[in-house]
Amino acid sequence: MTLPGTRVTVTQSLGGHFTVTTDDGALPVLARDAGGTVMKAQRVLLALTVLNLVLMALTLAHVRSAAAEGVPPVLRGRALEIVDDRGRVRASLQVLPAKTEPDGKTHAETVLLRLITERGRPSVKIGASEESAGISLAGPTGTKDTYVIVEASGTTTSLRLRNEDGRERRVTP
């Protein structure tokens, strides 16, 4: 759109086409060539606008279909920690690498699930490896020797019960 007082120049080329220019660089919206058809620039702009609308519609349709697919079937990782609202780890699931202790005892790679109290004590542990599997239930915070251990190691199984007063009972088949 040109403002009042803006100079408009119309020139005709040898082919009969008109070129419309203004001193501020703006072009009138409805400039027409000698044949009365809309200028090529307006056709190109219209085609680009239609193309943009089609691409936007396709993108929105793709986003909606992706959102409708639901939850991914698998969560993969090396470890998982669940924290409470204060950021403290309350549960963990880890794959521990195989290791050899200084005394020469070896431990196979182990999967370990820990459930941890609000004070940081791992009260429930469930572990599994190729050599053994077990469950440990520990007493409340402040106890050292109150626990239950159920274990299957190699070809043997056992149940160990221990109270804080030192009494212990071991059950084997």
CB atoms within 10 A of CB 169: 9
Average pLDDT for 137-152: 92
- What per-residue confidence (pLDDT) applies to 48? 84
Mean pLDDT along residues 105-123 = 93
Q: Which has more pLDDT, 58 or 70?
A: 58
Both tokens of 109, joined, read 């790679």
pLDDT at residue 39 in the model: 61
The Cβ of residue 139 has, within 10 Å, a number of other Cβ atoms equal to 16
pTM (whole model) above 0.85: no
User: Mean of the per-residue pLDDT values for the chain?
Assistant: 81
- What is the band of 160 on the pLDDT scale with cuts at 50, 70, 90? very high
| Domain residue ranges in the chain | 8-68, 79-171
